Amino acid sequence: MYKIAFVFPGQGSQSVGMGKYIYSNYSQAREIIDSLNYDINLLFNGPKKTLQLTQYAQPAIFAVSCAIFSIIKKYCNNFFAKNSKNIAVLGHSLGEYSALFSAEVFGFTDGLKIVNARSKFIKKAININPGVMAAIIGLNETIVIKICEEVSKDKNIVCEAVNFNSTKQVIISGHVEAINKAVYLAKKRGALKTVFLNVSGPFHSSLMSSASKEMAIELKKYEFHSPIYGIYMNYDASLTSNVKSIKYKLIKQVDNPVLWKTSIQNLINTGCNKFIEIGPGRTLSSIIKKIDRSKKVFNTSDLLNLENTMEVINNFHET
Give Dmax over CA atoms of the chain in angstroms.
57
Active site residue 226: no
pLDDT at 147 over 60: yes
Q: Tell me, what's the pLDDT at 155? A: 75
The residue extents of the domains of the chain are 4-126+207-314, 131-200
pLDDT at 8 over 80: yes
pLDDT digits (tens, 9 = 90+) for 242-295: 999 999 999 999 999 999 999 999 999 999 999 999 999 999 999 999 999 999
Q: What is the CA radius of gyration of the chain?
A: 19
Q: How many residues does the chain have?
A: 319
Average model confidence (pLDDT) across the chain: 96
Q: What is the mean pLDDT of residues 194-211?
A: 94
Q: Tell me, what's the pLDDT at 199? A: 85
Q: Whole-angstrom Cα distance, residue 118 to residue 131?
A: 18
Q: What is the mean pLDDT of residues 172-198?
A: 96
pLDDT at 43 over 90: yes
pTM: 0.95
Q: Tell me, what's the pLDDT at 230? A: 97
Q: Tell me, what's the pLDDT at 318? A: 67
User: The domain at 4-126+207-314 falls in which architecture?
Assistant: 3-Layer(aba) Sandwich (3.40)
Exposed / middle / buried, residue 245 (Cβ in 10 Å: 0-12, 13-18, 19+): middle
Confidence band, pLDDT 50/70/90 cuts, at residue 239 = very high
Q: Tell me, what's the pLDDT at 319? A: 54
Q: Catalytic residue among 119, 200, 204, 301, which?
A: 204
> 91 - beta bridge partners?
8
Q: Catalytic residue among 13, 65, 70, 93, which?
A: 93
The closest alpha carbon to 277, from 262, 259, 264, belongs to 264
Instruction: Report the CATH fold assignment for 131-200.
Output: Alpha-Beta Plaits (3.30.70)
Residue percentage of the chain with pLDDT more than 70: 99
Residue percentage of the chain with pLDDT more than 90: 95
pLDDT at 139 over 90: yes
pLDDT digits (tens, 9 = 90+) for 68-89: 999 999 999 999 999 999 999 9
Confidence band, pLDDT 50/70/90 cuts, at residue 156 = confident
Q: Whole-angstrom Cα distance, residue 247 to residue 96?
A: 11
Q: Tell me, what's the pLDDT at 204? A: 97
- Top pLDDT among 316 and 67 is at 67
Q: Can you say whether the dihedral through the CA atoms of 218, 38, 23, 94 is positive or negative?
A: negative
Contact by Cβ (8 Å): 72, 28 = no
Active site residue 166: no
